[in-house]
Amino acid sequence: MNYELMKYNIDKLLPGEVCEYLRKSRSDDPALSVEEVLQRHASILNDWAIHNLGESIPEENIFREIVSGETIADRPEVQKLLTMIESPRIKAILIVEPQRLSRGDLEDVGRIMKLIKYSNTLVITPTKIYDLQDKYDHEAFERELKRGNEFLEYTKTILRRGRIRSVAEGNYIGSKPPFGYDRCVVSENNRKYHTLKINEEQANIVRMIYDMFVNQDLGMVLICRKLNAMGIRPLVNTHWTRASIDTILKNIHYTGKVYWNRRKAVNVVEDGEILRTRPVQKDYQVFDGKHEAIISDELFAAAQEKMGRLSRKRPNTELKNVLAGVLYCKCGYSMSLKHYPKKDGSKRCASRLICDNQAVCHTGSSTYEEVYNRVKEILAENIADFEVQLAKEKANKENLTDSIIAQLEKRLQELNEAELKLWDEKAQNRGTEDEMPEHIFRSLKNKIKIEQAEVINALEQAKEVAPPKIDYEERIVRFRDALTTLESPDASASLKNRLLKNCIERIEYSREKPVRISKDTCEIYHIDKSAVHSRGNWFAQPLELTVKLRV
Ligand SMILES: [Zn+2]
């Protein structure tokens, strides 16, 4: 009989009431594979189970994390485990050490602790058992989980040091090779390192792009068209875009160099979720690589010089695209703002919005002004619409479903409070003569649980029939803010863009190619003969914007 188990009042614990969780962490021997580590841990935990419970934990209660995510959301097995412990059938989690549950992300630590505590689940490790109803255990467990975080920060630093050393030696540590190269592993003095090997077929295309850009003085868009016309394909997409040419013309790997930290992963919070992005950094280091160059230093420098000249040509006062990140062509590519400056910097014609994929999708372009004005109209139309809805809502305030929902929500809150009170009572009197007998506690808890489930179910049904509750006043304020700012000549383009994105998630742009109409064909298009020039005119097709609001 296990003394620890007796202390925790669970000497009758059954194997089926225990969940086992296995995960490899950075503290394990890096030479071992995930499978080997999990195997080793499983056997330690199995020994414990056989010794203390008389039997192994059943297979369906064992969760093996194969992927190694930093947060709960990245680890599917821990999610399953946390759902499982909500069931009263599960009384304990068996793990090699607390840190296996969390890598120490503070939000995750809080969530895990709460779930374990309120589901009254014990955490069993071969060396110690934690009961989170107990204050000391609670603190000790929390400390252990947070230790995971310090350890993670530490290993990240160590890893980074190892990686920067590797780059400084000229190795290629990226997971994807630049177009023109393949990744390969080379052994040297008993050490292996990753580097790049020229892929001749792709490298010839890279050489051709630099030659067209520098020696033939072609623009990037023209280069795309030529490559697409020749049937040459990039790696992932079906055809070349200006952005892909731009990336190739800027990639210093082609001169036999390697970067460090050009694209550092950054965590950003968006809609309450943590997302990782890899923006291009301004301060990055360049080292001599171990790989062979495809482009000479001179040719690369000439390309950089030409690109600098191209971007410098644009005066700073130039109109920036307020619709960036909002306006997309119906083919899925973004619509970019194009300017047509004369040599002296003055405008040749009005700035236009053109699909990045225009060469392939052939969508007609529009002047920036036309689309911009249309977007302002859309905002105004929606404000008017919200005002009508708000007035309607105020008129029939007495809504039956609303009052039912309010009542159910109140009852659910009462039940949640009753549940917490029950836990607290049990914890307070633990070990005293007033201690609530386990069977009474469980039956009270189950009663609450059953009613909670009923109320939640009723709420869901009521909400299904109830019209969705919409805060029209908030919407009106938000949309008006955006509209006034869009109309203000003093507001910056980035502010306008931000406020617009507050209201509109995405606008899909669609416009047929303009048609050329002569006096003979104008009737088909319902255009008056007098409006058509004797040699024919170009007529723009109607602009269609499909808007997805952010509400
Ligand atoms: Zn398009």
| 239/359 Cα distance (integer angstroms) | 10
- Output the CA 334–ligand 1 centroid distance in Å: 8
What distance in angstroms lies between residue 327's CA and the mean position of ligand 1's atoms?
11
Q: Is residue 393 part of a domain?
A: no
How far, in Å, is the centroid of ligand 1 from the Cα of 541?
Answer: 15
Domain match, 189 and 280 both? yes
Centroid of ligand 1 to alpha carbon of 271 (angstroms): 28
The C-alpha atoms of residue 332 and residue 86 are separated, in whole angstroms, by 43
91 within a domain of the structure (yes/no): yes
CA of 428 to the centre of ligand 1 (A): 66
Q: Which of these, 105, 99, 19, lies nearest to 64 by C-alpha position?
A: 19
The answer to whether residue 317 sits within a structural domain is no
Q: In the numeric block, which tokens belong to residue 460?
A: 């869901």
Domain final residue, candidates 272, 296, 312: 312
Q: How far is the CA of 242 from the centre of ligand 1 (A)?
A: 14
Give yes or no: residues 189 and 128 share one domain. no
Residue at 377 is within a domain:
no
Does residue 223 share a domain with residue 136?
no
Note whether residue 526 is domain-resident. Answer: no
Position 476 scores a pLDDT of 92
| DSSP alpha helix (H) spans, 10-103 | 34-53, 76-84
Residue ranges of the chain whose pLDDT lies below 50:
1, 270-274, 313-317
- Amino acid residing at 228: N
Is residue 197 located within the same domain as residue 243?
yes
CATH number at residue 105: 3.40.50.1390
Q: What is the pLDDT of residue 483?
A: 94
89 touches 95 (CB < 8 A): no
**Are residues 89 and 18 part of one domain?**
yes
Query: CATH code at 222?
Result: 3.90.1750.20
Among 291, 312, 333, give the residue marking a domain's end.
312
Determine the distance separating the centroid of ligand 1 and the alpha carbon of 331, expressed in angstroms. Answer: 4
Q: Domain range spanning residue 419?
A: 400-465
Residues 150 and 79 in one domain: yes
Give residue 326 CA to ligand 1 midpoint distance, Å: 14
155 and 8 within one domain: yes
Provide the pLDDT for residue 486. Answer: 93
Q: Is residue 330 part of a domain?
A: no
| CA 368 to ligand 1 center in whole angstroms | 16
- Note whether 200 and 299 are same-domain residues: yes
17 CA to middle of ligand 1, Å? 57
Distance CA 267, CA 278 (A): 9
Residues 159 and 190 in one domain: no
Say if residue 238 is in the same domain as residue 257: yes
Read off the tokens for 324: 């960036």
Q: Given this model, what pLDDT does residue 378 score?
A: 95
211 and 288: one domain?
Answer: yes
List CB contacts of 427: < 8 A, sequence separation 6 or more.
133, 134
Ligand 1 centre distance from Cα of residue 235 (Å): 20
Number of domains making up the chain:
3
Do 152 and 215 lie in a common domain?
no
In-domain check, residue 498: no
The rounded distance, in Å, linking the Cα atoms of 283 and 296 is: 23
Residue 237 domain flag: yes
CA distances from 450 to 3, 91, 408 (A): 35, 19, 15
Examine the fold and report which residue of 448, 465, 482 is the final residue of a domain before the chain moves on: 465
Instruction: Tell me how far the alpha carbon of residue 204 lies from the centroid of ligand 1, in angstroms.
Output: 29
Ligand 1 ion: residues within 5 Å (CB): 329, 331, 333, 355, 357, 361, 363
